[in-house]
Amino acid sequence: MANENPHSSNYRAYLFAALSITLLALSAWVIWNDEFGLRPWKHYQKEYKSLKHDKLEKDYQQALQDFRRSGGARRLAMLEAQLAKAEEAFKQKGVHDRYVELNAQLDDLHAKMATNQKELQMTRGQFLETEYYFTKTQKPEYKKKMDELQRQIDTIDGKGKALLVKEEPIRQAIYKLTGGMTEIRAEIEAIRKSLEERKEKIANNDKAPIEIKQYLIKDTDKADRCVSCHAGIESNVQVSKKEPYTKHPLGFVYLGHHDPTKFGCTFCHRGQGRATTTIEKAHGNVKHWEEPMLKGNMTQTSCLNCHGDIKNLRGAEKIANDTELIRKYGCYSCHKIPGYEGMGDVGPELTNVGTKVNYSWAVRWLMDPKKYFSTARMPKFFFTKDQAEAIADYLFSMSGTTRHDVDYATATPNEQLVEQGKMLWSQARCNLCHMTNGKGGNHIKVYAPDLSKAGSKVNKTWLFNWIKDPNKYFPGTRMPRFRFTDQEINALVEYIVSEYQDDEAESAYTTPVQISAASIKKGKDLIQQYGCYGCHKIQGMEMVQVAPSLKSQGVTFLRSDEMREKIGTELSSIGSKPVDLLDFGKLKKSIPNDRLSYIKQKLRDPRGFRLGLRMPNFGLSEKEVNELAAVLYGFTDSNVPVRFLVPSRQELEKMAGVPGYKFTGDFAKVISDVKCTNCHTIKGIGADYAPDLSLAGSKLQESWIRSFLANPDVIRPLLQQMPKLGLTMGPKPAKITMPKFNLGVQKVEDTNRSDVDVVVNYFQQELVTPDIPKDLPVIADIVMPEQIAMGKKLYDQKGCVACHQIGADGGAVGPNLSNVGNRLRAGFIFKHLENSRKFKPDIVEPNYGFTERERIFLTNYLMTLKLTAK
């Protein structure tokens, strides 16, 4: 063969050629992949551009069609012809000179009018000043001066009107001279512009470059490139409903308040803002990226990063609602959670529970509270009967030595007392907070115990003492002290005990049985192990748990509550805890190994991960699990820049060194008894189920306060109050009003003032604002009946009747005004009509822009609306 020489072997040439071609192909692929394969956003941007182009084009065509259909072209041609004619006419000799002359006249006139206007304002000012002195001093010299000034005002005003009359003829002369040239030009311009602007928009869209877009956030390591694909996210117009071309849902709330160029995307949505190569990477749904993207309502968890107070935050409704669960189940009792320090105990004090409940009930309850009441908040600890008995033994041993039950089911109730009790029950509106047999009970937020089976649970003597003075047994309880007489309390007790019996109640210890010391010891150990003292105050237990670090130094007892370590894990940064630190235990293989799945599983089945876990099962529904997990996921130690933080009102006050508002004097005593703040807000303290009373003194008349406290009745139609209360009242809602606390019956401790006097006095001294005048300004020149008539006319003209009810007529949105003359102070109505949002920012009432005089008329009219007492 000729190819003996190995250097010229064909075989090697082919191999070499093949390798070269492969290398070339590979290089080509690398270039293609880098240009397009790794940059899918180019495709999305192109697609978005073409979608936007289509939409703009459609708009343009529509506008064009409208233009043609409405004869726009003809109109334009006509205008142009008119303009040409006018321009021709304007060129004639002398016209231009005349035009200049007329314009000079007009300028001169305007200057005169301006001077006149200034003079008028000055004189009016003087008049008002004099009027003020007059109303204050009533001296006749002021009256005289007022008359003098009024005359001056009339003359100046007359001059002004005379000048105004001159203006129109000059304008008409100019118009005639120019043939309306200016106006025609403006119209032509407007017609052309409306179409050209649309065209320009299309051109701009087509010109926009395809490029990577990102939000670089100052002082952080954020470079959010989400907008490279989500090109229309900032737009006000929905170009397409398909992802990623949509606009941001509720953009005016979220992006409107958080300029994306300053906040970016990932502070709220998490995900991997820098990634652009695939959807999975960008959304953070890849291994080793621990912050997958938050979508939809779940994103609201991020509000917790910056906002200290999300209660009334627009756009954070879901998470605000979810956080309520933390309060409901008292997570902070066992776990340290920032913002929930010093919240008070979730459960009642147990030190003297032996004097309160039946032993059999206690054991049953301890074993499975949810089985007893499906609405129970106490979780299940999976105690065996022995364990439950041991705990009950320990608790009962603190106030006695025996296991004992009382059985009222067999006793015959006193019918007369029961009848009286039933009446008192409804008068005091016990059902407002307490649920019975599935009715009533604002258990969504107040969490008062269900009383359906109370008769088989508690002891009569205890119940009597409890109603008489709840603070005595449980300091800090939310139960108000109603001012019942002892006889009334007896009746109420008789009613509760006989009416609300439990059919399944056991009473194994009607004859008391001695408690053994071994059992007490066992019970104490169990209480310490499971941390019952987290939710319940148990005497002797406040000081047992000590931080491990201190234990190692030999410290075993500390008195201070702050030093007590919570039994559970700290939750302040659970939402950003590295996944490696979460103990999946034996579920490592059966559930997804991410943070959210862990949190949800922990809430569903707290002890399922491995043996030896102590967290009890709250029996949460899947909905509650999701809601609670959303909140917990929001507790992060994310490094949000300080400039983003929006502290809550309390935090702000703390930072400014302003002490929070505190009730003082005898009123504080009344508040601690009647618990007004369970429903009302006063100076930022309390709940928002009932009206804010912070300015009640300026708003309400004394006599009305007195009669309302004596016999509360609805002010506002039921419609508006119902959803806020969240009551479940069955098919026929009863009238919801304030409970009758029987104020005024008793004197406040250590004083001889009655409750109502104290309340009224405090309202008038403390809950007032200088912004609201005590009395109305007086209008001297119109007699009162006429003012009232004018007020009534205004009331009818402005359509107040659409929302407010007087007598039997009117709408049900605003408060009923039938008795407003007895209820509100005139000064308040007067100010309220000026700017209703000043005292209540979220009010629906429109602002009508009344003049001062109109407001006085209206107020005077409203003050005549009085119902005579029956």
The residue ranges that bind another protein (CB under 8 A) are 30, 34, 38, 212, 221, 223, 225, 274-277, 281
Task: State the first-to-last Cα distance of the chain, in angstroms, to the nearest integer.
Answer: 133
Q: Which is nearer to another protein, 219 or 503 (CB)?
A: 219
Q: Which long-range contacts (CB under 8 A, 24 or more apart) does 293-296 make?
A: 293/269, 294/268, 294/269, 294/270, 295/269
- Is residue 716 a contact partner of residue 812, using CB atoms and an 8 Å limit? no
Q: Which is nearer to another protein, 221 or 842 (CB)?
A: 221
Give the separation between CA 441 and CA 431, rounded to whole angstroms.
5
CB of residue 272 to another protein, shortest distance in Å = 8
Contacts of 715 (CB under 8 A, 6+ apart): 691, 815, 816, 823
Give me the residue label for tokens 């505190």: 662
Pull the structure tokens for residue 83: 């303009």
Rg of the Cα trace of the chain?
A: 39
C-alpha torsion sign, points 481, 486, 488, 489: positive
CB of residue 802 to another protein, shortest distance in Å = 58
Q: Which is nearer to another protein, 22 or 529 (CB)?
A: 22
- Is residue 165 a contact partner of residue 153, using CB atoms and an 8 Å limit? no
Q: Which is nearer to another protein, 223 or 734 (CB)?
A: 223
Q: Which is nearer to another protein, 30 or 646 (CB)?
A: 30
CB of residue 205 to another protein, shortest distance in Å = 25
CB of residue 24 to another protein, shortest distance in Å = 15
Q: Which is nearer to another protein, 226 or 428 (CB)?
A: 226
Q: Which is nearer to another protein, 213 or 537 (CB)?
A: 213
Q: Which is nearer to another protein, 219 or 341 (CB)?
A: 219
For residue 853, give the H/E element and its range: helix 852-862
- Is residue 60 a contact partner of residue 202, using CB atoms and an 8 Å limit? yes
Pull the structure tokens for residue 726: 């969240």
Q: Which long-range contacts (CB under 8 A, 24 or more apart) does 376-385 make?
A: 376/450, 377/328, 377/329, 377/330, 377/346, 377/447, 378/347, 378/535, 379/329, 379/616, 379/617, 379/618, 379/619, 380/616, 380/617, 380/618, 380/619, 381/530, 381/616, 382/607, 382/616, 382/617, 383/526
Give the separation between CA 550 and CA 661, rounded to whole angstroms.
36
- Is residue 344 a contact partner of residue 537, using CB atoms and an 8 Å limit? no
CB of residue 34 to another protein, shortest distance in Å = 5
Contacts of 234 (CB under 8 A, 6+ apart): 227, 247, 248, 251, 255, 260
CB of residue 16 to another protein, shortest distance in Å = 14
CB of residue 1 to another protein, shortest distance in Å = 19
Q: Which is nearer to another protein, 220 or 746 (CB)?
A: 220
CB of residue 30 to another protein, shortest distance in Å = 5
Q: Which is nearer to another protein, 13 or 719 (CB)?
A: 13
Give the separation between CA 367 and CA 388, rounded to whole angstroms.
6
CB of residue 223 to another protein, shortest distance in Å = 8
Contacts of 429 (CB under 8 A, 6+ apart): 736, 737, 738, 739, 740
CB of residue 277 to another protein, shortest distance in Å = 6
Outline where 511-558 has alpha helix (H). 517-530, 548-551
Buried b (16+ CB within 10 A) or exposed e, 186-220: ebbeebeeeeeebeebbeebeeeebeebbbebeee
Q: Which is nearer to another protein, 82 or 593 (CB)?
A: 593
Q: Which is nearer to another protein, 31 or 843 (CB)?
A: 31
CB of residue 225 to another protein, shortest distance in Å = 8
Q: Which is nearer to another protein, 108 or 211 (CB)?
A: 211
Smallest Cα–Cα separation from 680: which of 664, 668, 696, 666?
696
Q: Which is nearer to another protein, 275 or 544 (CB)?
A: 275
CB of residue 692 to another protein, shortest distance in Å = 48
CB of residue 275 to another protein, shortest distance in Å = 5
Neighbours of 121 (CB within 10 A): 11
Beta bridge partners of 216: 223
CB of residue 215 to another protein, shortest distance in Å = 14
